[in-house]
Amino acid sequence: MNPRTPAFPSKTPHMGTTIFTVMSALATEKGAVNLGQGFPDFACDPRLIEHVTDAMREGHNQYPPMTGVAPLREAVAAKIKTLYGRHYDPVNEITVTAGATQAILTAILAIVHPGDEVIVLEPCYDSYVPNIELAGGVVVRVPLTPGTFRPDFDKIQAALTPRTRAILINSPHNPSGMVWTREEMLRLQEILDPTDVLLISDEVYEHMVYAPLQHWSAAQFGGLAARAFIVSSFGKTYHVTGWKIGTVAAPAALSAEFRKIHQFNVFTVNTPMQHGLAHYMANPRPYLELPAFYQRKRDLFRAGLSNTRFRLLPGEGTYFQCVDISGLAVPEKDLGEAAFCQWLTTEVGVAAIPLSAFYGNGFDQKVIRFCFAKKDETLQLALERLARL
């Protein structure tokens, strides 16, 4: 016998390791301040941990219902009603997922047939394209306006065809920090109105929008909500990205298809976290206070960067700040964004993410992304190191 792994064709020959994993590994290896991958370096509220611990002690340790535990689905429905004014039935229209990543993949697998076109607005979060390809869909890339990252509705309109199954939007937007306005949401609604195009609205940064702006959810627009999977993530909102837990709100017909895939994918999401989160959500203050919490960090980080040669791009929402590197005094500014980020991590000791990683064709506009969801001292240390550029 000759034990060997048989040769087999890769289903995803072009798929590599995500840039976030690559840069985080490099940051660890080089001892760099990691402003690359988007996660907080500070603790979550200890009360949240207590609630989860209590849930475990109370015996909430077996499979929950496939759609999520009722108290959490009810808490999410109540929150959407309060914040965005739309009623979602917690029984048929809210599903608890293993984070937004699983939610987006599940939504795509549920609706995209081989050959269906799905529009993404680039730059976009790196799971969208592989998800569509895995479902056999055809990715249609529409660029956000270079420089401002605002949606270009003429281009979106032009990309719609009879084969378009869905469009994916993300506001507040990773990586640019741009936040869709009410007018932009209305315009999308108008464009989609005569079509059967479905919407996946990735709203994981919904509680990170900075004054005087506000988040506009697809839930607030009847014509969008009726065709939308609205994706949220507790990881972002409660500083627990490692818990990988989120929700999808969608009309019953969409939720029913979503759940068919969900049940044979993860089936359920861990029980004690769901009970802990449901308990914690009874108090709205943590998410209502989140914008002020992150706005202070954004302002601190922006103030520090304004003393450097990095050119700040607007930071309307999310915990990301993009900067243009073309005015730096170092010759490495002429490297591509990716090589510059590697150099920055290795030689300057600060990890960042190149925006080119969010484009299919690697479009290089000399812009990189920092994450400011960090302790003040972490941000100060990074700023000290960046100041010499």
Ligand X SMILES: Cc1ncc(COP(=O)(O)O)c(C=O)c1O
| Contacts to ligand X from residues 171-230, by CB under 6 A | 174, 202, 204
Please choose, out of 51-59, 95-103, 257-265, 348-356, the segment that lies near ligand X by the rule CB under 6 A. Answer: 95-103
241: which 2 tokens? 């990205």
40 binds ligand X (CB under 6 A): no
Question: How near is the Cβ of 303 to ligand X at its closest, in Å?
Answer: 25
Question: How near is the Cβ of 332 to ligand X at its closest, in Å?
Answer: 27
Number of chain residues interacting with ligand X (CB under 6 A): 14
Q: Give the residue with the Cβ less far from ligand X, 269 or 335.
A: 269
Please answer whether residues 370 and 288 qualify as being in contact, where contact means their C-beta atoms are separated by less than 8 angstroms: no
125 binds ligand X (CB under 6 A): yes
Please answer whether residues 88 and 290 qualify as being in contact, where contact means their C-beta atoms are separated by less than 8 angstroms: no
Please choose, out of 97-105, 134-142, 255-263, 307-315, the segment that lies near ligand X by the rule CB under 6 A. Answer: 97-105
CA 202 distance to own-chain centroid: 6
Question: How near is the Cβ of 326 to ligand X at its closest, in Å?
Answer: 25
Question: How near is the Cβ of 31 to ligand X at its closest, in Å?
Answer: 24
Question: How near is the Cβ of 91 to ligand X at its closest, in Å?
Answer: 23
342 binds ligand X (CB under 6 A): no
Question: How near is the Cβ of 163 to ligand X at its closest, in Å?
Answer: 25
Q: For residue 111, what are the CA distances in angstroms to 170, 210, 260? A: 18, 34, 11
Please choose, out of 241-249, 251-259, 290-298, 380-388, the segment that lies near ligand X by the rule CB under 6 A. Answer: 241-249
| Contacts to ligand X from residues 246-305, by CB under 6 A | 246
Residues 6+ apart with CB under 8 A from 387: 304, 307, 308
Residues 6+ apart with CB under 8 A from 16: none
Query: Whole-angstrom Cα distance, residue 87 to residue 58?
Result: 31
Query: Whole-angstrom Cα distance, residue 245 to residue 232?
Result: 9
Q: Pick from 123, 177, 235, 272 the residue near ligand X by CB under 6 A.
A: 235
Q: Give the residue with the Cβ less far from ligand X, 301 or 348.
A: 301
Q: Pick from 164, 233, 321, 356 the residue near ligand X by CB under 6 A.
A: 233
Task: Report which of 294, 197, 189 is spatially closest to residue 239, judged by C-alpha positions.
Answer: 294
Residues forming the site for ligand X (CB under 6 A): 38, 99-101, 125, 170, 174, 202, 204, 233, 235, 241, 244, 246
